[in-house]
A and B are shown apart, each in its own frame.
Chain A
């Protein structure tokens, strides 16, 4: 179905080839997982298969890429798209409309399909992806998992023979991830070939036909999913775990007598919506990493926004180390690392970005520009413009800036969504250092591997009746 024959590819103005003499053959109806450390050439491989490289990105291509027997070099990207569908990491970046049904129909309408066939395909794709009940909903109001399914449905409706998925679980909660795995399995059973690039591995254990591990533009290892059981191999190639236990139900609740930040009597709801919190009381201990967990829509981000004064609330009492404090004052003691790193980078160089964070922060704590940049692998990038960095590098930079502010409270929203195994471990070590320095670290994340690796406590927000839930045992000593 997909055939790459002695492929080498180099981007314009680059000395190094991103892909080097790579040959790969993917049979029809299979699920292939491609993984490897950041920068190993996974994304380039996707672009070669869907035709963006070299048609869109230009560059130098040697060898031949073929899909369904047709060579890519003789077809436009649009023609290749009749055989290959692509699902982006961020589904919102590929939406053209605001209503689910309109979005699924969009490409079919512009391909000139008859209205009756469009309607039939919409319902077929919605049934496969489980979004029949969402067809009339506004896309922007859906959860990340639902948006991902809408994007997948819009690809499935075009009846491609091959579907490429680029880090599809980066923003999904565990339930949505399981649901996606089931949907992909069903698509493969119908004869669709699935080509998945992801750092997270565990969710494909039951469904992946084959695993390809890449290193420096070449295939390092390939075989069944069981090759990922080898810890030495995972370490050698900077991979994540092949099995991950869900730690959410084993992590203990933060103790009532813990030092740090305490919230009591917080009730909040958006106008004309159900209340999110009713008389919520909880603690965020200093010197520990607390996971803020709950399903999408439970109010995790809203809770943090209220806590740091970004969202006004008339109720709730807040204390920091036993002293009453307003959310506005707490913001000055806090560093919040948001999910979208593009919004948080303003300066001309990486060095300036970090130095400004330090200067405008509390100028306290164990972190220095040199130390953090070295630990997060940013020391070679200090003179680069922040917006010229890759996604993973930007993510590491905003985390570095958060640490350099020297906060009492450090909140990180999905900090590891694009990080490979190596960088995830480096990040976890930094969080441990931050906790050791007495900072209250709060993680909002669906990354089970990260939560399992670094968290001491879990604060559960439930969808309808939010409150903290006591858990049976304490996992780590803080």
Chain B
């Protein structure tokens, strides 16, 4: 079961440990906040694009980029006239592009992680981080219930269709409270019940009796993970070097 349901690929990115992809996503997210120049951001964005491309989920990629493109066009409609009007100020087209480059760079690696990680891989990664039980248990339960939640949404939509209720944009505008209640009341009740059941199940399994835990089958990072981490460390270092370090003269 993948974090975002899809095909069962066995490519390079799918064989990476979930911790590697989480580290890449976290690293990119932090570095792009520090960068303000389009060139290093574009460099990360392009490499991230190939990272995402390797998941093989082209349709979803196209949808994500279409969404970003629509945002860009909408923003350009407002920003370009203002930049033209303020000719004497410091505002430039590059400044306008920077937030979008940040979004694209982050989206590429986060989406690549979500589309290629199996939920069990994320659970194993969480376990190997040796977090305390009070953090690990709710986090892992949340992740473990992603596919169950998606199935619940599908079943509720179907049960409404069976009963003759047509839930859509039109009903949301005409009867917003009723529509939200029809959809969310069963979901909330189901979530509360699942939480209660899981809480009882944890108690009945004797979890929390001891403060230490063991791992019967610990996972180790492999050569692929080391290679990927090294590549991204070098790339992020290069980007920071271009903006702040000795490579600054590369900038136009």
Measured CB to CB, the residues of A under 8 A from B are 50, 52, 56, 77-79, 81-82, 85-86, 88, 90, 92-99, 101-102, 105-115, 118-119, 122, 138, 140, 154, 158, 308, 310, 331-332, 334-336, 338, 340, 342-346, 356-357, 360-361, 387, 401, 405
Contact = CB atoms under 8 A, between A and B. Distances in A.
Interface in B154-170: 155-156, 158-165
A346 B160 contact: yes
A357 B209 CA distance: 48
B119 to A, nearest CB: 6
A86 B120 CA distance: 25
Interface stretch (B50-58, B104-112, B139-147): B139-147
A112 B212 contact: yes
Given A52-B200, A118-B214, A342 B193 contact: yes
A343 B152 contact: yes
Interface stretch (B30-38, B40-48, B179-187, B237-245): B179-187
B220 interface: no
Contacts of B185: 345-346, 387
Nearest to B143: A98
Please provide the 8 A-B residue pairs with the shortest distance between their CB atoms, ordered closest to farther: A360-B164, A94-B201, A107-B205, A81-B206, A118-B216, A93-B197, A77-B203, A112-B210
A95 B160 CA distance: 28
A112 B213 contact: yes
Contacts of A357: 163
A278 to B, nearest CB: 25
Contacts of A92: 148
A178 to B, nearest CB: 27
Interface residues of B, number: 51
B92 interface: no
Contact of B216 (A90, A119, A344): A119
Contact of B204 (A77, A102, A119): A77
B215 interface: yes
A78 B216 contact: no
A153 B130 CA distance: 25
B235 interface: no
Which of B203, B204, B207 is packed against the most chain A CB atoms within 10 Å?
A: B204
A93 B216 contact: no
Contacts of B202: 96
A319 to B, nearest CB: 21
A331 B162 contact: yes
Chain A interface helix/strand/loop/mixed = helix
Contact of A334 (B158, B162, B208): B162
A93 B162 contact: no
A335 to B, nearest CB: 7
A107 B203 CA distance: 10
B164 A56 contact: no
A408 to B, nearest CB: 14
A109 B124 CA distance: 13
Given A119-B216, A122-B216, A50 B190 contact: no
A318 B144 CA distance: 40
B9 interface: no
Contact of A140 (B1, B182, B215): B1
A343 B144 contact: no
Given A98-B123, A111-B206, A138 B155 contact: no
B133 A345 contact: no
A86 B1 CA distance: 27
11 contacts: A99-B120, A106-B207, A110-B205, A114-B214, A118-B216, A138-B120, A342-B186, A345-B186, A387-B189, A401-B163, A405-B164
A343 B210 contact: no
B241 to A, nearest CB: 42
A122 B216 CA distance: 10
